[in-house]
């Protein structure tokens, strides 16, 4: 599943980083602690968080994450948007809570995996 | 092949926290280092870089890349660490409220560094600063 498929399925707002919308999603990670994400998120995952400052994009870039979803209607700071565009990592938004968006993301990824295994 | 790089880090400058780590990551990719090794190095270096930004007044990162390893020495002028053993305990942090609100200062930095380096050494003088040396083999 690509980031753009996730955007369409969950009706996410795309704040920035449009150049990265064709990236493949390897999984998801949920945390508001940057060291937790730094230590344990994996390449290609979508990061769900309520942190909106530009260090989020620094971490996302260092970890080669597929995209970042800001929850509960939070909007990114201007330099976060700038960094997202530079790094080609989509910065997405939703009015949903972390719990809801994580649940939907998990269900989508599981469903997608199931479809893939049926095809093969 | 020996490559040496030096980066300056300013205390409190969160806008540029991670810049040095990002440059080292790109350099290691160009040198065709095993991506799994790069991942560990980047985790450790970023945490160490953020520690200078969050706690110290200023610091310098010296990178030395040899054929089979990278040595990273981070030397800062800052408050120092009174009890290194306690600082190493996961969850222990002296970060300010502002820093914690940004999602830093969870007391995971030094344990992330330990977990992702082959060698790690800290020496510190209270009121003067801290020197962190990290070595990773390729």
CA distance B130 to chain A (A): 20
- Residue A110 structural domain: 3-115
Averaged pLDDT of chain B? 95
Neighboring chain A residues of B50 at a CB cutoff of 8 Å: 34
The answer to whether the CB of B135 falls within 8 A of the CB of B45 is: no
Quote the CA–CA distance of A94 and A68 in Å, as a whole number.
11
CA distance A54 to chain B (A): 7
- CATH code at position B128: 3.30.565.10
Q: Judge: B103–A49 Cβ closer than 8 Å, yes or no.
A: yes
DSSP A106: H
ipTM confidence score: 0.91
Could you tell me if residue A17 is inside a domain? Answer: yes
- CATH code at position A84: 3.40.1390.20
Number of domains in chain B: 1
How many residues make up chain A in this entry? 120
Neighboring chain A residues of B104 at a CB cutoff of 8 Å: 34-35, 55
- Residue B122 structural domain: 3-137
CB atoms under 10 Å from CB of B47, counted, come to: 26
Quote the CA–CA distance of A65 and A34 in Å, as a whole number.
13
Is residue A55 within 8 angstroms of chain B, CB to CB?
A: yes
For chain B, 138 residues long, give each residue's pLDDT as a single digit of tens.
799 999 999 999 999 999 999 999 999 999 999 999 999 999 999 999 999 999 999 999 999 999 999 999 999 999 999 999 999 999 999 999 999 999 998 899 999 999 999 999 999 999 999 999 999 999
Q: Judge: B47–A38 Cβ closer than 8 Å, yes or no.
A: yes
């Amino acid at each position: 599943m690509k980031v753009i498929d996730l955007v369409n399925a969950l009706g996410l707002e795309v704040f920035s980083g449009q150049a990265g919308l064709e990236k493949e999603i390897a999984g998801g990670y949920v945390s508001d602690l940057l060291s937790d994400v730094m230590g344990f998120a994996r390449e290609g995952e979508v990061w769900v968080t309520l942190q909106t400052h530009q260090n989020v994009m620094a971490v996302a870039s260092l970890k080669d994450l597929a995209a970042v979803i800001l929850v509960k209607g939070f909007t990114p700071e201007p330099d976060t948007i700038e960094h997202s565009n530079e790094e080609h990592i989509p910065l997405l938004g939703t009015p949903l809570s972390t719990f809801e968006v994580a649940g939907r993301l998990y269900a989508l990824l599981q469903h997608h995996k199931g479809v893939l295994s049926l095809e093969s | 092949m020996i490559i040496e790089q030096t980066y300056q880090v300013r205390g409190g400058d969160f806008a540029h926290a991670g810049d040095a780590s990002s440059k080292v990551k790109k350099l290691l990719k160009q040198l065709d280092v095993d991506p799994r090794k790069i991942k560990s190095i980047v985790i450790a270096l970023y945490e160490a870089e953020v520690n200078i930004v969050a706690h110290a007044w200023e610091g310098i990162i010296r990178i030395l890349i040899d054929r089979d390893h990278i040595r990273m020495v981070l030397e800062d002028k800052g408050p120092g660490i009174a009890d290194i053993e306690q600082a190493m305990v996961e969850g222990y942090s002296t970060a300010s409220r502002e820093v914690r609100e940004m999602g830093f200062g969870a007391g995971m930095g030094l344990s992330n560094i330990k977990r992702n380096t082959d060698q790690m050494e800290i020496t510190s003088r209270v009121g003067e600063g801290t020197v962190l040396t990290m070595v990773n083999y390729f």
